[in-house]
Structures are given as structure tokens and as C-alpha cells.
Amino acid sequence: MQQTIDPTLIAETNGTDKSILALLVPVRQRKTGNRTKRAKRAAACQRGSTPSLKGKKTMPKVPDFYSINEVQKPPANRVYHNNSACPPGRDIPANERRSGTGGYRLCKDCNERNDQGR
């Protein structure tokens, strides 16, 4: 994205007054030393550890899902997932996921992570 700057806006700057120039640089290109709370929260969301409003970490809960390959397992071993931090759940490709519980029990790893609040 090419931006043009009106020369009349910066003609009077003497090299020490950078405030006008700073306003002309798009926000996403500005470098800041301190990140805002909003930026920190957005970064945390992308990592999957979203802090709540009280500053505590919340469980990375996702809607219940199960793998289409569960039918190939013995009935006692069929599970569904509801925690995005669960390694077996993360290994299931999106195209092999189905919404809901499928009538299966909750995955042991999901259950442990839910109990621990992570």
C-alpha cells in the first residue's frame, strides 16, 4: 500500500518535531515499547491461553467434537473432545471432525485439563 504525504504538512518540521510525521505513519507500522492491554489479550488469544477479565487463565474450551474414525475403535475406547489443549484432540484433522459427543465418553486428557482449568 503506497501512501503519499502532502509536503505542506511537513514543510515546517525542524527535525525535532516528529509528531506530525508520527501521525502520518499507519498504526500497524509504528513501533511501540509497551504493548497495550488489548494487544496483550489479543496475543494471548492467538496462543490459546486467553486471560479472563480477572487476570486468571481460562480453560481453552471448544465445542464438543469427535473423530469420524472413532467407529473403528472398540466401543469402550471411543471418546469425544472439548479442550483445545488436548494433544489427541489436536491431532484430529478438521475434515475428520464431527460436532457433538457422538454418544461417547469424554477423553481422559480433556477431562484432566478441564479439572485443572487449563
Q: Which three cell numbers mark 64? A: 464438543
pLDDT averaged over every residue in the chain: 74
Q: What is the spatial distance between Cα 104 and Cα 79, in angstroms, rounded to a whole number? A: 5
> HEC string of 51-115?
ECCCCCECCCEEEEEEEHHHHHCCHHHCEEEEECCCHHHHCCCHHHEEECCCCCEECHHHHHHHH
Q: What is the pTM of this model?
A: 0.52
Residue 83: closest CA among 104, 57, 65: 65
- The predicted-structure confidence for 17-29, as pLDDT tens digits, reads as follows 555 545 555 545 4
Q: State residue 61's pLDDT score.
A: 86
pLDDT at 118: 80
Domain-by-domain residue ranges, the chain? 28-118
pLDDT band, residue 63 (cuts 50/70/90): very high
In this model, does residue 12 exceed pLDDT 80? Answer: no
Report d(CA 30, CA 25) in Å as an integer. 7
Question: How confident is the model over 88-113, as a mean pLDDT?
Answer: 95
pLDDT digits (tens, 9 = 90+) for 26-50: 545 444 555 666 666 666 666 555 4
pLDDT at 44: 66
**Residue 109 buriedness (CB in 10 A; 0-12 / 13-18 / 19+):** middle
Burial status of residue 107 (CB atoms within 10 A of its CB: 0-12, 13-18, 19 or more): buried
